[in-house]
Structure 1
Amino acid sequence: MSWLRALKATSRSGLTVERRPLEPAIAARGALGLALVVGFSLALFGPAVAASSAFGAFQAAIATFQRSWRPRPTLALASGASLAVSTFLGYLTGAHEVLFLALLLSWTFLSGLAWAAGPTAGIIASSNVAIMLVTVTLPTSVATAAGHAAVIFAGGVVQAALVVLLPVRRWGAQRDALADALAAEADYARRLRHDPVAPFEPVPLMTARSAAAVTPRQARRRPAELHGARGLAERIRPVLASLADPAVGVPEEGPQRDRVRELLAAAGALLDAAAHAIRHGEPVVLPPPAVAALRTPDTGAILSGPSRRAAHRLAALLGDVVETADPRTETSPGEAPAPPPDKATTGAAGATTTPAVAGATTTPAPTTTPAPPAPSAARPPARASRTRPPLVRLVPIVVANMRAELRPDSPILRHAVRVSVVTAAGYLLGAVLPFGHGYWAPMASVMVMRPDFSQTYARSVARFGGTLVGVALATAVVQWAHPGTYLLAALAVLSAFGMYLLIRTGYAAGQVCVSAYVVFLLGMDGAGVTQTVRDRVLLTLVGGLLAMLAYAVYPAWETPRLRGRLADWLAAVGRYAAVVTARYADPVGPVCPDVREAVLDTRAARVAWQEALERATHEPVRHRGLSHAAAEQAEHALAEFGRVAMLMEAHLPERGAPPVPAAATLAESLHRSTERGAKQVRERKEPQWDDLRETVTAWSADPPDHFLLHKGAVLLLDALDEVAVALTDSRHAR
């Protein structure tokens, strides 16, 4: 992509206003906390202290809107405390130009490294630097620096207290994450009805897993319906794929396929019902047609072999999901609900009775003669909840992550260097320019800069556009209406409410409100009232241009790293396939910790590749080692490789089943081939799969005695060959 096209794309992205559900109750709560702090400070201490405390409450409320799974009061307190420290140090050094510049450089550098701890930490740290630039310009003395810092922290305390006293949809983010995962499974089941090899994006499951990690305090209070359903959804996905895929299931047409489509439709309906119940904290309302489809005795008469086992396992897992999702089920924290005694009772024709069926208000199915039970789909042993360390214990982890980024090829380190140099340059330039209140330039720089190109440029354009509108409106109100101190405070609170309300709709929309908020707030004490719209907008433009120029001069392009990301995914998915295959030689049942860890590593590598590819798409550079067509073809091939491994996982033998010795050979050849191939991809060589090819060729005359193992090995090799073709074509096209 050329620079001109990249600038056009990022400009459109930055000025886009997205249609997102608004949260007026949460926005009103944040504005209420700000109003309480500002009103109390005005009445007791005056406008200068009120402005300081307002910034603390304002930033603490923004912290509660971040996409973090930590308790919202904790985020508010952490934001208030960190801003208080930043402002206190700024006050102490503000009178000494050299000391303040040194503090600004070091503090901004650390805020850039804070992105190593995640977006929430990076955003809070960047905001602290920006607000410090504003607050230290307020009339004050060093003697009152501690007082200003205290009232800033008090603003965070007030916002945290309001979150506790005025809760809005407790556990709402965790409920949404789990419900989204179940809804994604439901959509996957419906798509499999029409496309038996439909892809599945694992992001909702990864998000749900992240949301399931709780602090010890959260673990004692978490609702029962948020336990267990995510793990069951993870186990349902390979069963759905196995039931639908013609390679290991039923033919593409005929009575068996029709029956599979009925089961998939029923699974989608039940998963949607469970998702709705979890999202709203309501009892599960089961759709009678879906329950009837699962209870019919025709399954055993129509399906046979692997497809019949998959149907039975699916019915039992769906029953577990519905039982877990129902808030009426009493469950101890960290413990999965115990299955009822009659769960998974199978009739002679293969019908299965599950909790989903037992809880439905439908006519009971005809009683059938008992038969041997279907393959067990019981839950794994109860495990403790995933834990998230408290903030105090998180400090050494964050420090270790930041130290790990201190390497020349780290995008985080490059971002830290860029943002610190640009902020210092903007501060000096703002002091030299004859506009006054030069902090608008460095404040704009530090707020728009991000570790990647597209966000930095998009936010720069959005910041300029939003500032132009917001400052113009607010300045016009101040200069024409001449509002008093309390009216300015009310206008600042109203602007903050608008920002909280529009925070998820796009950076440009929120920036209009933020710019007006700053103008009204500083106008309470007369600071900046005489500064014109032109001065503020030009300084913002200077800050944005400095940020954009810095990325062009000292970039951290994602495009040259695409091959490395692809190699990481290849190695991860290869380990996943090898671990799954090894379990055929050493059966331990369908619940295997090593398989689970391999799945998580594969998902993380796949998402890292997709995010890198998305960022590279908007970068104005061209990578000669991997074309867009080759990247797309290689991605499709590796996704197919992972899907075949998932099908093999769906049919893992039960504990105590006869082992398949040939599987150990296949697992070893898979591991060696993919590890060597990943190294060759990084070195821009054509990958070879000699070990796996030799194993598959040797099996052509004497295949292993297993319905899936030989077929799966052939499909895995075909997918790897497609990867090699994609990368070879890319090399020849250079």
Structure 2
Amino acid sequence: MTWSHALKESTRTGLTIERTRLDPLVALRGACGVAIVIGLTLWLGSPTLAVSSAFGAFSAGIATFQRSWRPRPALALAAAALLAVSTFLGYLAAAHTVTFVLMLAVWTLLTGMSWAIGPVSGLVSTQMVAVMLVTVTLPTSVLGALEHAALIGLGGVVQAALIVLFPVRPWGAQRDALADALAAVADYARRLRHDPIAPFDPKPLMDARSAAALTPRQARRRPRQLRGYRLLAERIRPVLASLADPVVGAAPEGPERDRARELLGATATVLDAVAHAIRRGKPVRLPPEAMAVLEVPPTGPMLNGPARRAALRLMAVVTDVVESSDEPVEAVTAEGGKGRRYLPRPTVAGMLRAALRALRREMRWSSRVLRHAVRLSVVATSGYLLAGALPWGHGYWAPLTSVMVLRPDFGQTFSRGVARFIGTLAGVLIGGTVTALADPGPYASAALAVLCAAVMYLVMRTGFIVASACVTAYVVFLLDIAGEAVGQTVQARLALTLLGGVLAMAAYVVFPAWETPLLRDRLADWLTTNGRYAIAVFDAHARPADRRPRQVREALLDARAARADYEQLELRAQREPVRHRGLSRRAAQAAQTALSTTGRVTMLLEAHLPDRAAPPSKEAEDFAAALRAAVPKAAEAVRERRPPDWTLVQESLARWQARAGDHPGVGVRGAELLVESLDDLAEALARTKKPR
């Protein structure tokens, strides 16, 4: 992609306003928290204290809107506590420019590294630094700084208390995640009716699994309707694929295919009914027509061989779904461990250990997170010093903009830069015009600030440009409470905002962290995890008596995670103005299709795992051994820009086919499909020549 095209796409993305579901009650609750804190501090304290405390409540409210499965009160308290500490340290260092610049450099470096822990940590840390840059400009003493920090923490306590006292759709995020997973499987079943090899995006199932991770206290309080369905959805998906597949399932045409389409459609109807009930917290209403299709006819199903086995398994799983709709299955033990009936969430100590491991992984110069942290630290300190040297005042607007704009990837940085400037322009013009013409007093400005906070919470997910306008107007009205002459500094604020955005985007050009060169590494990781998944499934076919379900399950989860990492990286790489370095876009898409096919084929074989009493298969054991030897070498070849060699796997398949003769079973058919997809991968990677 050329620079002109990349900038055009980034601008278009930044100016896009998306249609999304609004949560007016949640937005109203967050705005009430801000109003309570501002009103109390204006009544009992001073306008300056009201401004700092309002920032604490506002930031805590923003944290509760992030996509996290942690309890919302905990997010509000954590965000307010971090902001209080940051603000207090900022006040102590603000008396001397050199000290504050050093503190800002270290703090922004840590903020940039927090993206290694996760997007929620990165967003909350960014908000913490941005608010600190504003609050430390309010004059105070050391004791006053302690008072400011305490009031900021109070804002988080108020927001957390409101969430506890006035819950809005409790367990709503978990309900939506589980309902989305069931709806995704239902949509998959419908698409399989017309396209037997339709792709499936596992992200809804991954989100549902993340949402199902609970603490012991949450597990005791969890609604009964949220138990059991996720594992049933996981079990249904491979059975649906095996029934629809024309090689290991129903015949491509004829009565078998018609019967398979009926079963797929009925299953989709049942899953949609369950998803609707879970989302709204109501009893499940199962359509009798669909349930009649999922019963074995008196004359027997018009299916044979593997298709018949898949149909019977599908009927059994749907029966479990029906029974769960009447009385949720409490005996389902998930991945949490021995004797647990839920997926345990890591403790605070476990989270700290995981965070430290994530930070250590990113402590290398090639890491995009480390480069982002260094870039953010340099830009923030440079913007602060440069803006302070200009005669405009309000120098914090430049580093504030840089902190809010910079992200670890190119697309978000440039799109947010455009959206930030346009949103700030709108917010300053609206806020400046109102304060200049109406000259509101402290209480009127506080009311306008609360209104901006409410609108911000309501439309936060529609686009960064709208959120930027609301946040800017909120800051303008808050500073007007403390007596800032906003109307006289509109041009200065806009100029400094433009300066901060330009510095952020220029820094990414000078010191980039391109994603495109990493495509082959992520592709090799995906190939490795897919290979482990296939090896685990063929091992289960080879030695049914020694089968370990956890081995297959863990390999599947690793393959899903690797696929998600690659797809996210490939999406970010598409927006970069970088010529391909070893992997063209066409080759990347073809390789992605091939690896998706390997995962689907392995899933088909997982749906036909033999019983423990079945005899062992030497052919499957030989094929698994060939995969075990070939996959690591193939992954190394992908990283070194060489096409992978599947000779060992092809020879093992030929021996299996010769022994099977004219009666190949599901195992050999699956192995044939797997080898075809691996050959497609080699062909796709061979299109990009190794550079001289």
TM norm structure 2? 0.97
SS at match of 2:461: coil
Distance 1:235 1:13 in 2: 38
Q: Tell me the equivalent position of 1:363.
A: none
- Structure 1 residue 473 and structure 2 residue 437: aligned? no
Q: Tell me the equivalent position of 1:343.
A: none
Distance 2:619 2:655 in 1: 11
Q: 1:528 to 1:394 in 2, by over 3 A?
A: farther
Distance 1:274 1:381 in 2: 28
Q: Tell me the equivalent position of 1:336.
A: 332
Distance 2:211 2:328 in 1: 21
How far has the Cα of 1:296 moved from its partner?
4.7
Q: Does the 8 Å CA contact 2:433/2:487 hold for their aligned counterparts?
A: no
Distance 2:277 2:568 in 1: 32
Q: Does the 8 Å CA contact 2:191/2:198 hold for their aligned counterparts?
A: yes
Q: Does the 8 Å CA contact 2:375/2:508 hold for their aligned counterparts?
A: yes
Q: Tell me the equivalent position of 1:703.
A: 660
1:612 corresponds, among 561, 569, 572, to 569
Q: 1:299 to 1:52 in 2, by over 3 A?
A: farther
Distance 2:118 2:234 in 1: 25
Q: Does the 8 Å CA contact 2:179/2:279 hold for their aligned counterparts?
A: yes
How far has the Cα of 1:529 moved from its partner?
2.5
Q: Tell me the equivalent position of 2:105.
A: 105
The 5 A counterparts of 1:35-114 are 35-114=35-114
Distance 1:169 1:615 in 2: 34
How far has the Cα of 1:47 moved from its partner?
0.4
The 5 A counterparts of 1:628-639 are 628-639=585-596
Q: Does the 8 Å CA contact 1:299/1:308 hold for their aligned counterparts?
A: no
Q: Tell me the equivalent position of 2:681.
A: 723
Distance 2:360 2:592 in 1: 32
Distance 2:349 2:505 in 1: 36
Deviations 1:486-540 (A, max 9, x none): 0000000000001000001000011111000000001101135254221111111
Bigger shift: residues 313-322 or 290-299: 290-299
Deviations 1:324-374 (A, max 9, x none): 3x3x62665xx4399xxxxxxxxxxxxxxxxxxxxxxxxxxxxxxxxxxxx
Distance 1:384 1:403 in 2: 33
How far has the Cα of 1:89 moved from its partner?
0.5
- Structure 1 residue 425 and structure 2 residue 421: aligned? no
Distance 1:408 1:298 in 2: 68
Q: Does the 8 Å CA contact 1:562/1:609 hold for their aligned counterparts?
A: yes
How far has the Cα of 1:572 moved from its partner?
0.9
Distance 2:246 2:683 in 1: 25
SS at match of 2:617: coil
Q: Tell me the equivalent position of 2:318.
A: 318
Match of 1:336, as an amino acid? V
The 5 A counterparts of 1:135-154 are 135-154=135-154
How far has the Cα of 1:215 moved from its partner?
2.0
Q: Tell me the equivalent position of 2:474.
A: 517
- Same amino acid, percent of matched pairs: 57
Q: Tell me the equivalent position of 2:193.
A: 193
Q: Tell me the equivalent position of 1:641.
A: 598
Q: 1:88 to 1:274 in 2, by over 3 A?
A: same
How far has the Cα of 1:393 moved from its partner?
4.7
Distance 2:238 2:485 in 1: 62
Q: 1:381 to 1:414 in 2, by over 3 A?
A: closer
Q: 1:265 to 1:381 in 2, by over 3 A?
A: farther
- Structure 1 residue 402 and structure 2 residue 359: aligned? yes
Q: Does the 8 Å CA contact 2:38/2:50 hold for their aligned counterparts?
A: yes
2:391 corresponds, among 434, 440, 463, to 434
Distance 1:29 1:224 in 2: 27
Match of 2:394, as an amino acid? H
SS at match of 1:655: coil
How far has the Cα of 1:322 moved from its partner?
3.3
Deviations 1:648-671 (A, max 9, x none): 111000122211122111111112
Distance 1:641 1:401 in 2: 29
Match of 1:46, as an amino acid? S
How far has the Cα of 1:293 moved from its partner?
0.7
Q: Does the 8 Å CA contact 1:519/1:528 hold for their aligned counterparts?
A: no
Q: Does the 8 Å CA contact 1:686/1:727 hold for their aligned counterparts?
A: yes
Deviations 1:373-423 (A, max 9, x none): xxxxxxx99743212234455233323322321111111111110111100
Structure with greater proportional helix content: 2
Distance 1:266 1:600 in 2: 28
Distance 2:339 2:247 in 1: 34
The 5 A counterparts of 1:492-531 are 492-529=449-486, 531=488
Match of 2:260, as an amino acid? V
Distance 1:464 1:588 in 2: 64
How far has the Cα of 1:173 moved from its partner?
0.4
Q: 1:146 to 1:627 in 2, by over 3 A?
A: same
Match of 1:587, as an amino acid? P
The 5 A counterparts of 1:478-627 are 478-529=435-486, 531-588=488-545, 592-627=549-584
Bigger shift: residues 397-406 or 263-272: 397-406
TM norm structure 1? 0.91
SS at match of 2:642: coil
Distance 1:299 1:668 in 2: 43
Distance 1:694 1:29 in 2: 65
How far has the Cα of 1:606 moved from its partner?
0.9
SS at match of 2:294: helix
Q: 1:298 to 1:538 in 2, by over 3 A?
A: farther
Q: Does the 8 Å CA contact 1:590/1:654 hold for their aligned counterparts?
A: no
Q: Does the 8 Å CA contact 1:578/1:667 hold for their aligned counterparts?
A: yes
Q: Does the 8 Å CA contact 2:630/2:645 hold for their aligned counterparts?
A: yes
- Structure 1 residue 460 and structure 2 residue 417: aligned? yes
Q: Does the 8 Å CA contact 1:336/1:382 hold for their aligned counterparts?
A: no
Distance 1:216 1:114 in 2: 27
Distance 1:723 1:383 in 2: 41
Q: 1:684 to 1:733 in 2, by over 3 A?
A: closer
How far has the Cα of 1:220 moved from its partner?
1.6
Distance 2:347 2:533 in 1: 32
Distance 1:729 1:299 in 2: 53
Distance 2:691 2:94 in 1: 58
Q: Does the 8 Å CA contact 2:582/2:691 hold for their aligned counterparts?
A: no
* Structure 2 unmatched runs, 5+: none
Distance 1:85 1:299 in 2: 73
Q: Does the 8 Å CA contact 1:436/1:531 hold for their aligned counterparts?
A: no
Distance 1:52 1:381 in 2: 49
Distance 1:711 1:319 in 2: 29
Distance 1:329 1:538 in 2: 63
Distance 2:102 2:424 in 1: 28
Distance 1:228 1:549 in 2: 51
Cα-Cα RMSD:
1.8
Match of 2:500, as an amino acid? G
- Structure 1 residue 3 and structure 2 residue 9: aligned? no
Q: Tell me the equivalent position of 1:683.
A: 640
Q: Does the 8 Å CA contact 1:453/1:557 hold for their aligned counterparts?
A: yes
How far has the Cα of 1:301 moved from its partner?
4.0
Distance 2:329 2:657 in 1: 52
